[in-house]
Structures are given as C-alpha cells and as structure tokens.
Structure 1
Amino acid sequence: MALADATAGTRNEAGIAAALGILKQAFGDRFQTGQSFREQHAHTTTYIPAQLPDGVLFAETADDVKAAVKVCAEHKVPVVAFGMGSSLEGQVNAPRGGISIDFSRMNRVLEVNAEDLDCTVEPGVTREELNTYLRDTGLFFPIDPGANASIGGMASTRASGTNAVRYGTMKDNVLAVTVVTANGEEIRTARRARKSSAGYDLTRLFVGAEGTLGILTSVTLKLQGIPQKIAGGVCVFPSIKAACDAVIMTIQMGIPVARIELLDAVQMRACNAYSGLSYAEQPTLFLEFHGTDETVPLQSAEFAEIAAECGGGEFLWTGNPEERNKLWKARHDAYWSARALAPEMAALSTDVCVPISRLADCVTETQVDIETHGLLAAIVGHAGDGNFHVLLLFDDKTPEGVAVAEGFVTRLNARALAMDGTCTGEHGIGQGKMSFLEQELGGAVDLMRQIKRGLDPDDIFNPGKIFREH
C-alpha cells in the first residue's frame, strides 16, 4: 500500500553534504537549499507524505544537467527530476534525500519541422505553452492529460488523457529523446524518421521510466494538423452499462471520435455545482469529433443513433468554440469539482484500465464497493480506451481513515487485474502502486530491476520508485 511503499530509504549523509557544497559553488543562486524551495519540490497531488530533497537546482541547459549528474554520481547522491509537480503517485518525492533538478527554466521550443509534423522541445515546456507556440503553424500537440504538465514529465510517466482514443498516448507520440545517463553523458535514442529498425527501441525504454533510468534533456514529438472542424457534445444515459455499450459500438463501428469521456452521477453533480452546468445527474458521456465541415456532422449523427439504440437521451452537440471549451473546462476541472463536494476531506485520485469490454463491469462493481463501504467518491473515465479514475474523499487525519482509503485502492486494483487490466492506465507507479505492479507483472519486474542496475548501478536516479530494489 502507498504509505508503506513510501518509507524513507537510507541516506548517504556524507555524499549529500559533499554534493551540496560542490553544486552551491558551481551554480550559485541557481542552487537552493532553503526549506521553502525543498518543500515546493516534494509537493504532489497525492496523499502520500512529502519527502523533501536536500537541494534544488534550477537547470537552464543540458550542460547544467550533465554537470549535476556527474557530481551526484561521484558522490552516490539521488537525483530527482521535477517538471510541474502534477504527478499523482509520489513520483517527485525524495525518500533518500538528494537533489531535485527543476526544469522550469529549460522551456524552449528548439525546433519545429512543419513539413514533417514534428518538433523538438526542452523538457520544461508545458503542453499549453507548446500549443500556443504552434498556433500559427496550423499544427498542435494532441496529448492532453488535463493538467498543464511539462512535456518531460508527460514523457516520463507515459501520460495520455482525453484525446488518447484518437491520437494515442505519449509512447505513440515521442519520436526520440536525449537523456543524461548515470555517467553524466548525454545520449540520443533515435532520429526524426517516423519508423526505424535500428537496434533496441531505447526511446520507449525511457518513456514511462519515471526518471529512474536517466534524465530527459529534450523530447522530439509528433504533431497533428489542427482539424478544420471540431464539435463537442453531451449525452445522458440511464446506467453505466448503457453508456459503455454506446462507447463500444462507437469504437467498433470505426467512428473516429477524438474524445469520449464517461462521468458518473456523482461526478456530474460535482461538475454542475463547480462549473455552472445544468445537466442531469446521471451517467453521462462527453464527446468530441475532429474532421471537416462535412464529416463532423455525419459522425455526430451516427453517434446519436448509437446512443438512442443504447437507451441514451438526446445527443446535444455544438461546434461553437465557447460552448465546447466550457464543456471541456468542466471536464478538466473534475478533480477540483469533486474535491469541492467535501472540502474538509483529503482526496485520493487513482486510476485503473481494463479491456473496453470489461469497463462497464469494472465501473459498476466499483460503484457497488463505494456504496457498500459508505464512501464518497466520483468516477470519470477515458471510456474509449477502458481507463477510468476514481477521486476518493476520505479522512487523512486518522490511521483508520487512511486504512479505509488504502483498502479501497487495493480492492480497485485487484478488480482491474482480475479483468486482465492494469493497475494504472496513465498515473504511473511511483511510490503508490509498487505492490500492484508486482501483482500485475510478476517476474517481469525482476527484469526491470536488471535493466535499472545495468543503466544506474548506484541507484541515483529517482530511487524508491516503480519497484523495491530488493
């Protein structure tokens, strides 16, 4: 369970002291050891207790990263990369102390190749900054996890989000990365070609590694053309199963839906109150279609027929950008709207993913679990790929309250694994889901340990994450 997995490791006090002195002398004011800086770089959107680094380096170039890693490698000091701090499973905690490298100043777009539909950015660029930069090119980067996360963080956690059903996840949209390895050298994992059979796929080894194998210094991304027409809409259903049946039929019929999001009745109540909406408080699908002036109305009409066949209400859709943006702003604010249902309580956001044919079963059984145990929780899901999130509100002031929350997460993950799903569709493992990864992959985790030892023999990169070393 998360709190047990987040226990502090053994600190290398002498090495940390030596590294702090060297880095302070080398970087001056760009290296900070003050309490407030350290607290800011252990903050995550999670209930896992913060574990502070001993110092924070505000890197400005790849050379800064290389120099810092060489110092930390020499003294066997942990190094934790920090983007926007929006991780959900304790990924930026420093259980053994060490150095946090903040990438907020490495936020340059290095290259845009409009003809090839790709770009290369530094890891501190956020997805919103990138799309603002690209606006005049007619291109956009489609991965949208909701939070304005950094590209480096999104790559490191293999993020996805609302557009994944059409555009895939980060693993599908990263062409190459440059990485500082444990000896302080920078390598490039691939070129810009759209496909390659040249050796091991190192790019995908580092994408999703959560900073445990090296530190990303640039990311080369696929881009997409901004659609001529975008329309969004809402459809209410009598049950979770009816909504999921509509999703399955939509996917099976090959309707190129860009987003198809499931919100349960509790989440709809929260969105109505927080975002000023007035929809029925029933299971609901939010959808978006991308295409041309001719194709988008056809796609919307096809979905409306499917929804009616599954018992859904009228599909209310619009091409008006302001109305559509209000809808998706409410969806992206789902975390905050659910928290507002009981602001005095702590929040635990967790996710699982199952084959789409089992989504209705998994969500329905989870709702029964919530009701049976008298819990308050909202469910929202990326229904098109079988991924859903639960925002559980609980009392974190007592051991009993934490035990109730962790018991729910344990049952949720067991349920997903029993349906041949995964313990996390997009949040990552971090500290919070190490136990469930062992249950999910068994002996494959031992192979991960071997890879980790081969690339990072002294375990300096984000130690205490993904799996226990022993």
Structure 2
Amino acid sequence: MPHDTAIAELKSLLGDRLVSSQADRDLHGQNESYHPTLLPDAVAYPETTQEVSEIVKICAAHDCPVTPYGAASSLEGQHLATKGGISLDTSRMNKLLNVNDEDLNVVVQPGLTRIELNEELRATGLFFPLDPGANASLGGMAATRASGTTAVRYGTMADSVLALEAVMADGTIIRTGSQARKSSTGYDLTHLLIGSEGTLGIITELTLKLQGIPEAASAATCRFESVEEAVNCVILTIQSGLPMARIELIDELMVRGFNVYSDAGLPEKPHLFVEFHGTPSAVAEQAALFGEIAEDFGATGFEHAEKTEDRNKLWTMRHNAHHANKALAPGKGIISTDVCVPISKLAEAIVEAQDKARDMGLSCAIVGHVGDGNYHCGLNVDTSDAEEMKTAKAFVGILNDSALRLGGTVSGEHGIGMGKTAYMHAEHGPALAYMRAIKTALDPKGILNPGKILPATNQH
C-alpha cells in the first residue's frame, strides 16, 4: 500500500485501535447513496483530541490522506476516502463533557449523536432541537452544516455552535469561539470550519446552544388537492409570522411510500406535517391560525397529535422517508438530492421538479423542510443501468440549475461532498478562487478529506 509507513507509525500509536481488516475497510467505504464504494487503507479509532492531533501529524509527515468519519449518514459521499489513506472514525469520542444549564449550552465530543445527547439531557429540562432525521453524529452535523425538520424555528448547525475545538492539517489544536452568545474579535473561524466537511480541520469538541423543552407541543397533518396549494399554504404561513416548529411537505408519491412501508393509511394526496411549540394556550392559538390559513387553500382531513407517542410516531414515519421511497421500487437504489430556494419561489420550483421528473420518466418522491425553502427529491433508480443513471444525474443537474436560476442554492442540507462539486463554480463564481486559497493556506498538502467540496481546477 502507498501509505504503509504512516500506517505502521499509527499502529505503534494506537495499537488495536488502528485497524486494516477487510471488514472494517468495507464498512467505512460504503454510503447510503449512489456513490461508488471507496475503501480507506486503514481505520483509526481515536479517543481524545490529543490522539487526533498525533494521527494528523503522522499523516502530514507522510502525505497520507485523512478522512473524518462520523455516523456515515451523509448523502453526498462526505465520509468516503477518495484517495485511500486513513478513515478517522470518531465513534469512540462520544462523551458529553459538560452541561452548563444556566447558560443553556453543552460541551460534547464529536462522536456523540444527537439522539444520545437528548437522552442524556432529559432530566435537565433542556434539549438540542436540530433534527435531520438520521441519528447523525454532532461532529458530522457541524462539519456538513446540517439542519432538518426543526430548522424553520431553531435554525441550523451554523446557528447552534458557540465554540469548537479542531485539529488542523499540521496537527495543531485550536479553539474557536466561547460560551458567550456573541463576539466581535477576529475572523470567525468557528463558522469557517462549520460546513467545511472536514477539508479544513477535524472537529474534536463542540459547544452547542440548548433550548428549554417546550411546555406544550402539538402536531397535525392535513392534505391538499395539489402540491401547489400545499406549498402556497406554507408560503403564506411563513409570511404571516406564525412560529412553526416544523412544517414539512409530503408529495403524493411519498405518501404512497409511507402507505407501503409504514401502513400509514393516508389518502394519496400532497400533505403537510406541522408541529407547534410553546405554552398550551400559544400552541392552541397557533394551531387554530394555521388551520384557518390551510382551509383557505382547500386543506381537508386535519388530524391532530398531542400525545408524545403520537407525535413521535408521526415524525418517525417522516424520518423513514428514505426507506419508504425504496419500498416503492424494491431492488432499486435511491438517488437523494436536495436544493433550497427563496420561499416565494418554492411552489414554482417544486411543481417544475415534478413536471420534469414525469417528462423524463423518473419516479421522484418529494419531501421538504419547506418552511425554509428546502426540499428533497428521491429518485428510484437501477444503479447498474448506465442509461437510467445518466437520466437521473441529468435530472439532478436540471434541479440544481433551476435552484440557481430562482435565486437559491444547489444544497440547503446535504452539502457538496463529492457529489455536487461540479456546481460550485456556477453557484459561487469568482468566490470559488478564494475558497481554494483558504484550502491551500490551511491544508497545503491537501491531506484533509481530499476530493470534497472543491471541484478539480479544470471542472466548471
């Protein structure tokens, strides 16, 4: 192997926590999307920031790539070792280090998952509100600037991280930010590293904002005759300033998937799933106001879920959208992609996506965190059929071009990884050169998660 010297030194450092078995390499080379299996040469399981630093120093000395690995729930291949080297698995760095309940924040290691965090916080009356669906690691969520169903009220990871610790490409350990809620000192390195997908530094600790568990919560579903009416209901709801905790669009094909996979028994029409947080009176008022708006757009079939178990059942069904989509075409794979547009363009964008998918003969189920203009398309594709894959990728390109034309972005949630690098120039133009300059300055040898975010210099 080309990185034998680095691997031998890492073996001396980590012992049996440096693994090069075929089973471990296979596990770390797979992904949940259509990207090819890409195996690392070995997998490292550090337990401390200092160990991450020593790993990176050894790899830097031998030009050995290092690819951070969290829960492997990313959909654009962010955790895949495109050039071999070391897969740095943070699963053993999974401790809750400190809860500062009076300051409403918590300090965690990156391998802790968001569900594990909330389980540990349960007795405090606080919770971490971001919910991307998958039980993602918090380090991975920061590295990909994740969001999810609750982003319309609580924001994204970019809004939730107060401070972090990171190991840079030469092994230096840095700390950015503080427990203070704001700062006017220096360059904002915290937010430079958030969303950098492990290409500028490896996050080893996070200080996260917490929220008080709401006194009351209520969820509801309703259905519409068309996607356009459902989305226009969302637009007016947001423009009216109604403080939604979640507002999710489920198109008719995705509803069919829920019926097949979860025996949901829903009429196969576009639905909105919504949730309200606050005091009992505020939640009741919000639900009533939303109901009035929705009825103006022809909504029917209102079903309310106020018990915790009923709400959990509803959102579990929503979070299983990937599996429900697969149930529509057993044996086929899923290409899952997302874009985000200004809220005023949302109806136009989604209807256009549905029409284009039908024209191209593709099965495309749409779900979306539509309260912030973000929606996801899941394509059922035979990944072994070159022509079908070509058509699906052409659709993804059209979707991206449409988002940019409407003033949006090619990804509001999944990130760039290795899957959307081809669209970076179209979205960022001359700014891409400055991104390259930052990468070169912070990682001159290019060892941190190579092949991600930045396109090849001849790729436009």
TM-score of the aligned structures, taking structure 2 as reference length? 0.98
Q: Match for residue 417 of structure 2?
A: 430
- Partner Cα separation in structure 2 for residue 346 and residue 132 of structure 1: 33
Choose from 167, 187, 204 the match for 2:154.
Answer: 167
Instruction: Say if 1:430 and 1:466, in contact at 8 Å, map to a contact too.
Output: yes
Query: After superposition, what is the alpha-carbon deviation per residue over 1:167-221, rounded to whole angstroms, capped at 9, x for unaligned?
Result: 0000000001100011211100111100000111110000000000011110110
Question: Is 2:172 aligned against 1:205?
Answer: no
- Partner Cα separation in structure 1 for residue 342 and residue 228 of structure 2: 14
Question: Is 2:58 aligned against 1:39?
Answer: no
Shift of 1:398: 2.4
Choose from 449, 461, 468 the match for 2:448.
Answer: 461
Q: Match for residue 188 of structure 1?
A: 175
Q: Which runs of 5+ in 2 are unaligned?
A: none
Q: Which runs of 5+ in 1 are unaligned?
A: 1-12
Query: After superposition, what is the alpha-carbon deviation per residue over 1:432-467, rounded to whole angstroms, capped at 9, x for unaligned?
Result: 000112111111111100000000000010011001
Question: Is 2:126 aligned against 1:139?
Answer: yes
Choose from 237, 258, 262 the match for 2:245.
Answer: 258
Instruction: Say if 1:175 and 1:191, in contact at 8 Å, map to a contact too.
Output: yes
- Partner Cα separation in structure 2 for residue 467 and residue 343 of structure 1: 35
Query: After superposition, what is the alpha-carbon deviation per residue over 1:304-328, rounded to whole angstroms, capped at 9, x for unaligned?
Result: 0000111111432221112211111
| 1:52-201 correspondence to structure 2 within 5 Å | 52-201=39-188
Q: Match for residue 320 of structure 2?
A: 333
Deviation >6 Å, runs of 4+: none
SS at match of 2:395: helix
Q: Match for residue 419 of structure 1?
A: 406
Q: Match for residue 204 of structure 2?
A: 217
Q: Which moved more, 1:143-152 or 1:308-317?
A: 308-317
Instruction: Say if 1:304 and 1:314, in contact at 8 Å, map to a contact too.
Output: no
Instruction: Say if 1:300 and 1:317, in contact at 8 Å, map to a contact too.
Output: no
- Partner Cα separation in structure 2 for residue 99 and residue 293 of structure 1: 51
Superposed CA RMSD in Å reads: 0.9
SS at match of 1:294: helix
- Partner Cα separation in structure 1 for residue 168 and residue 417 of structure 2: 20
Letter in 2 for 1:411: I
Q: Match for residue 309 of structure 1?
A: 296
Shift of 1:154: 0.2
Choose from 255, 261, 267 the match for 1:280.
Answer: 267
Choose from 343, 358, 362 the match for 1:375.
Answer: 362
Choose from 287, 290, 308 the match for 2:277.
Answer: 290
Instruction: Say if 2:424 and 2:455, in contact at 8 Å, map to a contact too.
Output: no
Q: Match for residue 407 of structure 1?
A: 394
Instruction: Say if 1:255 and 1:299, in contact at 8 Å, map to a contact too.
Output: yes
SS at match of 1:389: strand
Choose from 395, 398, 402 the match for 2:382.
Answer: 395
Query: After superposition, what is the alpha-carbon deviation per residue over 1:49-98, rounded to whole angstroms, capped at 9, x for unaligned?
Result: 01111010011111110110000011111000000111100111112111
Query: After superposition, what is the alpha-carbon deviation per residue over 1:148-169, rounded to whole angstroms, capped at 9, x for unaligned?
Result: 0000000000000000000000
Instruction: Say if 1:352 and 1:424, in contact at 8 Å, map to a contact too.
Output: yes
Query: After superposition, what is the alpha-carbon deviation per residue over 1:365-392, rounded to whole angstroms, capped at 9, x for unaligned?
Result: 1111111111112000011000000110
SS at match of 2:153: helix
- Partner Cα separation in structure 2 for residue 350 and residue 68 of structure 1: 33
Instruction: Say if 1:78 and 1:96, in contact at 8 Å, map to a contact too.
Output: yes
Letter in 2 for 1:205: L
Instruction: Say if 2:418 and 2:452, in contact at 8 Å, map to a contact too.
Output: yes
- Partner Cα separation in structure 2 for residue 314 and residue 195 of structure 1: 45
- Partner Cα separation in structure 1 for residue 410 and residue 24 of structure 2: 32
Letter in 2 for 1:388: Y
- Partner Cα separation in structure 1 for residue 8 and residue 410 of structure 2: 41
Shift of 1:468: 2.7
Aligned length: 457
Choose from 11, 28, 35 the match for 2:15.
Answer: 28
- Partner Cα separation in structure 1 for residue 177 and residue 290 of structure 2: 40
SS at match of 1:230: strand
- Partner Cα separation in structure 2 for residue 52 and residue 40 of structure 1: 8
Query: After superposition, what is the alpha-carbon deviation per residue over 1:96-127, rounded to whole angstroms, capped at 9, x for unaligned?
Result: 11101111110000110001000010000000
Choose from 217, 224, 233 the match for 1:237.
Answer: 224
Q: Match for residue 254 of structure 2?
A: 267
Letter in 2 for 1:387: N
Q: Match for residue 6 of structure 1?
A: none
Q: Report sequence identity in percent.
A: 52
SS at match of 2:245: strand
Shift of 1:245: 1.3
